[in-house]
Amino acid sequence: MQDELKKTAKQLVVPGKGILAADESFPTIEKRFSKIDVESNEENRRFYREILFTTDGIEKFISGVILFNETIRQKTQEGKPFSQVLSDKGIIPGIKVDKGKIDMPDHPGEKITQGLDGLGDRLKEYCESGARFTKWRVVFSIGDSLPTDDCINANSETLADFAALSQEAGLVPIVEPEVLMDGGHDIKRCREVTYQVLKRVFVKLVDKKVELSGLLLKPNMVIQGKDNPNKATPEEVAKSTLNCFREVIPSEIPGVVFLSGGQGPEEATANLNALNEIGGVDWELSFSFGRALQAPVLEAWAGNNDNKEAAQKAFYKRAKLNSLARKSEYKGEE
């Protein structure tokens, strides 16, 4: 089983390709749809995801797709399961398995992720539905006294438990410890917190005997807070990120698949390009973008099914540009 986990993990970070995060929860996709005045009902969500998954040629740039619990059960208008649509293109289907964040008791401003109860049974079901990898997200806010050691420890523990259970079920875990961009902190503070978080995450993963060569890391880039007026250049983001990661990420990890967080599409792609331009690390530097791949698609679609072709064109373009960034060949918007 370990050999299969390693093989799948490597396939997900094959050079030139990255992962589409299409695992938005109901509240998240409702926010995205509300911006284009579209009702978030099951059919609209299904149709929108069909636009993404049936785009011709995306398999040249996309290695895997993270699905949501509802999405992995859905089908195209012709009745083909989405997981099968992806597999037929050579794209690996995955699944978000956490059940979202709740307030951490006695820790104002901090969240803990839930979903370990019954996870073993759900993993078996997802395997039968075609999933070959999983994802679990935890978040950390930066504030005057945040994040606390308790929050870092508790969320790192759940990430390690999730990863161990996933591998036991034959699924590659993507561990996502996100240091949020919310706030006015500078890039130095983001680096400090990112280091603390990743250090603890890997300690817990090793404690739980998780096979590091059979998992992927989905971290934030080291970047300033959204409210900080001093915007770092792509080169500064890349240097800060890689200097931090070299100190804490084990060489056995096959790849780092960055989240885009609060970055816009062009910003995320430019920063990914700079990371690969510097490179010089043991792991593939890839992407697992949600909003940074989908924002132009949503805008082009706007809830009008006649706009399907324009929306797919927008998705193809962003996927291609991020593929170029993986090879440090992104030259700006075309």
CA distance 279 to 274: 8
333 in a domain, yes or no?
no
pLDDT of residue 155: 98
Q: Which domain holds residue 106?
A: 2-326
Q: What is the 3-state secondary structure (H, E, C) of 33-46?
A: HHCCCCCCCHHHHH
252 in a domain, yes or no?
yes
CA distance 50 to 45: 9
Task: Dihedral sign for Cα 248, 254, 259, 264, please.
Answer: positive
216 with 254: CB under 8 angstroms?
Answer: yes
24 in a domain, yes or no?
yes
Element (H, E) at 284: strand 284-289
Q: Which of 24, 110, 157, 176 is catalytic?
A: 176
Pick out the chain residues at pLDDT < 50. none
β-strand partners of 19: 64, 288
SS3 184: coil
332 in a domain, yes or no?
no
pTM value is 0.98
334 in a domain, yes or no?
no
Element (H, E) at 194: helix 187-207
79 in a domain, yes or no?
yes
CA-based R_g, the chain, Å: 19
Judging by beta carbons within 10 Å of its beta carbon (0-12, 13-18, 19+), is residue 170 exposed, middle or buried?
A: middle
pLDDT of residue 332: 87
Angle between helices 308-326 and 265-278 (to 10 degrees): 20
Instruction: Indicate which CATH number applies to the domain containing 306.
Output: 3.20.20.70
204 in a domain, yes or no?
yes
Length of the chain: 334
Encoded amino acid at 1, one letter: M
Active site residue 7: no
In 10 A of CB 23, how many CB atoms? Answer: 24
| Structural domain total, the chain | 1
CA distance 61 to 68: 21
Active site residue 218: yes
Q: Which long-range contacts (CB under 8 A, 24 or more apart) does 123-128 make?
A: 123/97, 123/165, 123/166, 123/169, 123/171, 124/169, 126/72, 126/95, 126/97, 126/171, 127/169, 127/170, 127/171
Short-list 20, 66, 18, CA closest to 276: 18
Tokens of 31: 């926010």
Q: Which of 6, 24, 218, 284 is catalytic?
A: 218
CA distance 135 to 262: 19
pLDDT of residue 333: 82
